[in-house]
Structure formats: C-alpha cells, structure tokens
Amino acid sequence: MRILALFLLFCLYNLNSSAVYQNEGHYDPINDGPYVFYVNDSLRVKMIENNVLSEYYITAENYPEIKTAVHLSCEYNDLLSVYSQKIDYSQDYPEVDSIIAISDVHGQYRKYTDILKANGIIDNDLNWNFGKGHLVFLGDAFDRGDMVTELLWHLFTLEKQAEKAGGMVHILPGNHDDMALNGDQRYMNEKYRKVEALTQTRYSDLYSGNSVLGKWLRNKPVMITINEMTFVHGGISIDMVRMKIPVKQANKLFSGKIIGKELAADNKNKQVELLAGDNGPLWYRGYFEDSTFCESRLDSILNFYQSKQIIVGHTTFKKIKGLYKNRIVGIDAGLGYNQPGEVLIYKEGNFYSGSITGQRTIL
C-alpha cells in the first residue's frame, strides 16, 4: 500500500512529463536537477530523468514524501531560508583550529567527494565529518565537468550539516561561477546544452535570482578571513590596495552589483570596474604570472588587509604551490583538469597538502 501511495503522490505532483530529448549520437540519457524556483509564493522544481522533464510543486506538507524523488537531502526550510538570509559582508573568523580548502572542482563531483572522504571531511555517506572545522570551497564549481548540479547541492546540504555540528562551510565564487551566472557559456559542458533544450530554459536562467541555488550563490562573499588568512579565488592585486577596497566593501559590491549581473557599458563606478576586471579578486593571476610582482607589494597587500597569508585558486599547478615562505598559497592542483588534485590543510599553525589517498605532506 505504501508503494502505491507514493506512486499516486508522484503522479499528483508531476505537472509535466512531456519533454523528451532525442539523442543525437551516442550520449547517455540525461539526468539532471533539481532546479528549484520560488514562484508565486511556492517552490517549483524542474527535474530531468532519462531524458524526461518533470515538474513539481514542493510544499511543507508534501516535501517529506517526495524529497527523495527530487534528489534532495536538505530540509524544506533550508530551501526557503536563502530568500530571507542576511548577508554578512565582514566575513572574519578568528581562532579556528582546523581548516581545509579546495578549489576549482569544475563539475568533477566524484573526485571532489573522493578527496573529501580521503581527508576526513565527509563520511562514506557523504555527510559532514569535520566537527567544528571549517571547509573553504574557493570557487569554480561550474564549467568543464558534467556534475555541476550534484556538486552545488552537496555543498548546499553540507553547509547546513556543518552548522549543526559547530563547523562551517564557506563557498566563495570563482570567475567561472560568475561567467555561468552571467550567461557566458564558453566552457560549459555539452550536457548542459541538452539540459537547456529539455527545460527550454537558458542555463543561466536555471540559476536566476529566484532559484534556490542562484540566490544562494549570489549571497556568497568574494573574500573571507580566517585566522588572519585571506581566502579569495584569484588574488588581491595592489590596485585594490591603492583604491582602498576593504573586504567588507568588496563583498558588498560583488553581491550587489557584479555577481550574476551584467555590467553597464557606461558604468562609472571605478571600484566595480576594478573588482570585475583582470585585477579583481576573481581573475587576478599576478602572484604567479606578473614578473614585476615582488615581496614589497605583498607586504603592502597583507598590511592593508591585516592578513598574514593569502590563499588562492584559479591558477593551476600540478601540486599546491607556496610562495614567499607560504605567505601566498595557490591551491588549484588541477582537480578540474583530470589531475588527482589536492586539498590545503591547516592544523595547529601548519600547512599541509592532502592527497586523494589521504596522505598529508607539510608545505
């Protein structure tokens, strides 16, 4: 009887199962979603399973029965909470004992979960296992790989689990995340072009401001400080110091005027122009590619931001790379490019790299 009841419930809330994508070539059937939207005071879901698009309404009453059908592990109130969340622009977290940072996953969900399991962040069921520790996801969930949706929902759920355990998950945007939200599809995996066809929705609109994941991502800071370490996807240029843009201001401008928004051609806000450009926090590569960058510039940047280290992703290496006695640490170890990848571990004042096997090597 329970199986029959669930089947009837599935049929009751299934609004549309008519869209079927005809594969061209030898692609596997498309499975993707959920994409959850706040529409007319209700939550509406788009799901694709075996090339079939289904749509549901989610309510507090039906959610316990259908959350497995829509592939969600979080609670109903977690979905709604993103629309009322107050944004903390300051983002300063002192006295954190254990930190792990990962960057530039680019839709490689299985490699991401494997390396988190190997280093004790999640258990075999993919649930939070890091106690009061802090996990920093340093940007670039989107593009290249074909499991972006799974990655984002796992981070969304892990954030809630960590909070209940006394820990934290910090998600910062990368340049590819900003590109995806703004409709730049140059690096988008071919799977999501099929998702667009099935949903009859532009990919960036699946992450619009009224979607749960789109709103959630738009609330995220571009820079955070933990234990006097500044975390940022690309880097902090000397131009940001010269223009005197503190962390709080950078986060406020990104959330309000940059992330997921098209910049006006006649934009006259010089701070916005800098932050959104090549010398802004999402795109800057000067630590590794600018031959004029020197220790005196680094001193100026660290002094302005009252920081001892800067932790960045964005620029890819085979292994985690430290410069200037680890005052700059680049943690993009190529996980998004089919390399094994590494995570950065901070424990009791020391930095380590953590491998896919769980082996730790001091930096």
| One-character DSSP codes across 195-239 | HHHHHTS-GGGGG-TTBHHHHHHHT--SEEEETTEEEESS---HH
- Helix, strand, coil distribution of the chain in percent, nearest 5: 35, 20, 45
pLDDT at 91 over 60: yes
What number of other Cβ atoms are within 10 A of residue 17's Cβ? Answer: 13
Summarize the confidence of residues 282-292 as an average pLDDT.
Answer: 97
Q: Which of 29, 26, 13, 12 is nearest to 198 (CA)?
A: 29
pLDDT in tens, 106-140: 999 999 999 999 999 999 999 999 999 999 999 99
- The two tokens of residue 258 are 């940059």
Q: Can you name the residues that pair with 361 across neighbouring β-strands?
A: 353
Give the residue extent of every domain in the chain: 2-81, 92-362
- Give the global pTM: 0.91
Stretch (H or E) spanning 4: helix 2-13
Q: Which CATH class is domain 92-362?
A: alpha beta
Q: At what angle do helices 109-118 and 148-165 cross, to 10 degrees?
A: 30
| Per-residue pLDDT, 261 | 83
Place of tokens 């962040």: 121
Q: Is the CB of residue 229 less than 8 Å from the CB of residue 350?
A: no
| Per-residue pLDDT, 14 | 45
- Out of 63-77, 147-161, 232-246, 256-270, pick the least confident: 256-270
pLDDT in tens, 250-271: 999 999 999 988 776 556 799 9
pLDDT in tens, 39-66: 988 999 999 999 999 999 999 999 999 8
| Per-residue pLDDT, 264 | 62
Place of tokens 């329970």: 2
Gap between the Cα atoms of 233 and 175, Å rounded: 8
- Residue 329 sits at the vertex; the CA angle it makes with 122 and 121, to the nearest 5 degrees, is 5
